[in-house]
C-alpha cells in the first residue's frame, strides 16, 4: 500500500492529485507545518529536510515532489502522463515540471512573510515586494505559454499536476487581471474530477484565510 505524507494545501497536493489521476490506492497521513512534527525523528527518517511530500512506495521512501511525480508517471506509462525519453515533447515536459518548483519557492517565501512570520513586524516589505514581482514574472511566462497550449506540454501530463500547489496560491499574491490564459487554465484544472477528488481528500485550503494578501504599508 502506498502512503503519502501530506500537509493540507502544501506541495504534497501535487502528488495527491497525481495519485487520483492514476487511480491508485493509497493511504494519506497528514502532518502539520506548525506543530513541530516535521522535525521529529520519525518524519526526518522519511524526508531528511523535514519537508512534505514524502511517499512510501515499492518498498522505499521517496521525497521531493518533482522526483515523486516523475517516478509515479514513469512507473505507470499506460496512463500516458509523461512523454517518454526520445519523444519530441520530453524536454518541454521536464522544463515545465521543474518550473513549478521555481515558482513554488517564491510562493513559499510569500507564505512565510504574509502568514507564518511572527511577530508581523519581523517582515521585510522590500523582500515581499521583490518576491511579488518575481512571482508575477513566472505567471507572465505561464500566461504567454498557455496562450498557445491547452496544457503545459500539449496534452495533460504530470507536469500539470506539479501546478497543484501553485495554481491556488499564486492568485493570493498577484491579481488575476491580465492573466486570462492562466485563469482559463486554472478553470480547466478545477474541472478535472481527479483534482476535485484530491481537494476533497486534502480537506480544503486551510492555509489561506484571505482571498488576497496585499503588501503591507511601507
Ligand atoms: N522541493 C521540495 C520542497 C518541499 C517543501 O518545502 N514543502 C513544504 C510545504 S509546501 C514544507 O514541507 N515545509 C516545511 C518546512 O519548511 O519546515 C519539494 O518539492 O518536495
What pLDDT does residue 218 have? 77
Tell me if 18 sits within 8 A of 160, measured CB to CB.
Answer: no
CA 135 to chain centre: 14
Other residues' Cβ atoms within 10 Å of the Cβ of residue 163: 26
* ∠ Cα 109 110 113 (to 5°): 90
Extract the C-alpha cell encoding 178: 491580465
Dist. CA 5–CA 2, nearest whole Å: 10
Q: CA 20, 24, 30, 34: dihedral to nearest 10 degrees?
A: -50
Q: How far is the CA of 88 from the centre of ligand 1 (A)?
A: 31
Dist. CA 42–CA 40, nearest whole Å: 5
Q: Which is the closest atom of ligand 1 to the Cα of 51?
A: 12
For residue 13 and ligand 1, the question of a CB distance below 6 A is answered with no
- Structural domains present in the chain: 2-79 (3.40.30.10), 90-202 (1.20.1050.10)
Task: Categorise residue 31: left if φ over 0, alpha if ψ from -120 to 50, beta otherwise.
Answer: beta
Q: What is the pLDDT of residues 40-81, one digit of tens each?
A: 999 999 999 999 999 999 999 999 999 999 999 999 999 999
Q: Quick one: DSSP state of residue 153?
A: B
13, 51, 67: residue to mutate for ligand 1 pocket, most atoms within 8 A of CB: 51
Which of 123, 101, 121 has its CA nearest to residue 110? 123
Q: Which is the closest atom of ligand 1 to the Cα of 39?
A: 17
Dist. CA 193–CA 51, nearest whole Å: 27
Match 515586494 to its residue by C-alpha cell: 129
Q: How far is the CA of 209 from the centre of ligand 1 (A)?
A: 20
In the chain, how many H helices and how many E strands? Answer: 9, 4
What pLDDT does residue 154 have? 82
- Protein residue whose Cα sits closest to atom 9 of ligand 1: 10
* ∠ Cα 17 20 23 (to 5°): 155
Give average pLDDT by consecutive 10-residue segment, the chain, 218 residues.
96 98 98 96 98 98 98 98 97 98 98 93 95 98 98 96 97 98 98 97 86 92
Which of 165, 194, 211 has its CA nearest to residue 6? 165
CA 137 to chain centre: 17
- Protein residue whose Cα sits closest to atom 12 of ligand 1: 51
Amino acid at each position: 500500500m502506498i502512503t503519502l505524507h501530506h500537509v493540507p494545501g502544501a506541495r504534497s497536493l501535487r502528488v495527491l492529485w497525481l495519485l487520483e489521476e492514476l487511480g491508485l490506492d493509497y493511504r494519506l497521513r497528514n502532518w502539520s507545518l506548525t506543530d513541530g512534527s516535521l522535525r521529529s525523528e520519525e518524519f526526518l527518517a522519511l524526508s531528511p529536510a523535514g519537508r512534505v511530500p514524502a511517499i512510501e512506495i515499492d518498498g522505499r521512501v521517496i521525497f521531493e515532489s518533482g522526483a515523486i511525480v516523475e517516478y509515479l508517471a514513469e512507473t505507470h506509462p499506460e496512463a500516458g502522463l509523461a512523454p517518454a525519453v526520445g519523444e519530441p515533447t520530453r524536454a518541454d515536459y521536464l522544463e515545465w515540471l521543474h518550473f513549478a518548483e521555481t515558482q513554488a519557492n517564491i510562493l513559499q517565501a510569500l507564505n512565510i512573510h504574509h502568514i507564518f512570520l511572527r511577530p508581523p513586524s519581523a517582515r521585510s516589505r522590500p523582500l515581499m515586494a521583490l518576491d511579488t514581482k518575481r512571482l508575477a514574472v513566472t505567471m507572465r511566462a505561464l500566461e504567454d505559454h498557455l496562450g498557445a497550449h491547452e496544457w503545459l506540454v500539449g496534452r495533460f501530463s504530470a507536469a500539470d499536476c506539479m501546478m497543484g500547489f501553485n495554481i491556488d496560491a499564486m492568485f493570493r499574491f498577484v491579481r488575476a487581471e491580465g492573466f486570462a490564459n492562466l485563469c482559463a487554465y486554472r478553470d480547466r484544472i478545477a474541472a478535472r474530477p481527479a483534482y476535485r477528488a484530491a481537494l476533497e481528500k486534502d480537506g480544503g485550503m486551510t492555509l489561506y484565510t484571505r482571498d488576497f494578501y496585499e503588501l503591507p504599508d511601507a
